[in-house]
Structure 1
């Protein structure tokens, strides 16, 4: 599907905004996915294209925390295979969901993602309080985290918005460790889920490659700009702006049916 030049401009600007938002606060999918559907891309194709296009951004964030991830090899061996299978399962579920059915659940997915973004700060503070004073490197409960991580990965492969918040919540429940380590592990899980889903989508024939190419380049540019703006823009303000956008878009989708 080839879009008009003006539409590529719109999705490019949305991807720049998403890259900036992801670098500063998270929730970029709440900007790019609605824009893709607004310019006429079918919902399932828009979701697939969005996953593929924004995947490189997760790589950059993961590499930035590589030392913390490398120090948790046992956990990575435990959780990353579950993340791969969950991401593929979610992608498979999406591709077997009809366009009409997916459009009917999109409003609820967007509103749920907006809610997750809204509670991300309280959730992070809870994880931080729970981790305070903990010196153990490995939690006895970590084995029990495989199932909820896999379920979170299924969601990530299916839609993805708010995945990082869900994964951090799961890790905070089953592991006792510093927020720095939990955040790094969360980043690696999110990357693996998105890469697994994206690789699966590449061979699905559902990716709008011109749109994905424009978005990937623009999202990387937005990530760079976001990094330079860090400290100049309050993440909490940006986060609530994205939450507001998500709620408005979700309600509009709900009304339109």
Structure 2
């Protein structure tokens, strides 16, 4: 990469790290940037995933106050994220990339609807959730596993999917849901990255540039995101989800 391209990728990494900490979908910035400078799509996807891991860590660390009391839940759900991500990474290497082009926008759309109706949905399901497992039970685990498959395959808007799923099935405020999302996204990205390092072609300069940017962006995003009121954060999540759908459908 030329010096100008490095600067562009680092800047994209900062934006992606910040967006991932607050909502998700940071890959919609970094992945197109890598493709635009000439990195082959699959290599760009793999390199992008690895580069965003440090940003996922700093974003999760920034939400550590909201993570208190969620350890057992995240250990349980984290297994689903890990297994799903490993499967998604294998699908990326072995399947036609067009397989998910129809399904993914639909999933993001459903997640956006869940985010919008979360307060009402929580009221409707209050009695059921009081009797159900405090960590969401098997249905939440399966939902997190499915989000992990998608995250390991591509990752853009996996945060929107996770917030929609977690928010619909847990009796938690949106900021605590977002904190849990950051940890699960970190597990997904780290698992996929470990797999890709072993079996995939990687552009390490792209990885380094995105890693530097996403690390900075993760800190900034967590600092800003924790101060955003829940209704505003909900609106941001939905807007990002809609933009992700437009980007994935129309390129």
Note whether the superposition's TM-score is higher than 0.5: yes
1:170, distance to aligned residue in structure 2 (A):
2.4
Residues 9/166 of structure 1: CA separation in 2 closer, same or farther (3 Å cut): same
For the pair 1:46 / 2:48, whether they are aligned, the reply is no
Contact kept? 1:132, 1:178, Cα under 8 Å: no
Q: In the TM superposition, what are the counterparts of 1:106-255 in structure 2 within 5 Å? A: 108=102, 111=105, 115=109, 119=113, 121-126=115-120, 138-139=133-134, 142-175=137-170, 177-179=171-173, 180-226=175-221, 246=244, 249-253=247-251
1:236, distance to aligned residue in structure 2 (A):
7.8
1:239, distance to aligned residue in structure 2 (A):
6.2
Which residue matches 2:85? 87
Contact kept? 2:163, 2:178, Cα under 8 Å: yes
1:33, distance to aligned residue in structure 2 (A):
1.0
Residues 202/13 of structure 1: CA separation in 2 closer, same or farther (3 Å cut): same
1:120, distance to aligned residue in structure 2 (A):
7.2
Residues 11/114 of structure 1: CA separation in 2 closer, same or farther (3 Å cut): farther
Contact kept? 1:30, 1:245, Cα under 8 Å: no
What TM-score, normalized to structure 1?
Answer: 0.75
Which residue matches 1:27? 25
Unpaired segments of 5 or more residues in structure 2?
none
2-structure distance, mates of 1:199, 1:62: 19
Residues 240/182 of structure 1: CA separation in 2 closer, same or farther (3 Å cut): closer
What TM-score, normalized to structure 2?
Answer: 0.77
Residues 248/170 of structure 1: CA separation in 2 closer, same or farther (3 Å cut): closer
2-structure distance, mates of 1:137, 1:244: 32
Cα shift readout 1:16-46 (whole Å, capped 9, x = no counterpart) = 2223333454321111111111222111111
Which residue matches 2:15? 17
Residues 160/135 of structure 1: CA separation in 2 closer, same or farther (3 Å cut): same
What is the aligned residue count? 245
1:160, distance to aligned residue in structure 2 (A):
1.0
Look up the SS of the partner of 1:161 in the other structure: coil
Look up the SS of the partner of 2:52 in the other structure: helix
2-structure distance, mates of 1:147, 1:117: 15
2-structure distance, mates of 1:191, 1:247: 22
Identify the match of residue 36 of structure 1 among 30, 34, 37.
34
Look up the SS of the partner of 1:160 in the other structure: coil
Contact kept? 1:87, 1:153, Cα under 8 Å: yes
Residues 181/125 of structure 1: CA separation in 2 closer, same or farther (3 Å cut): same
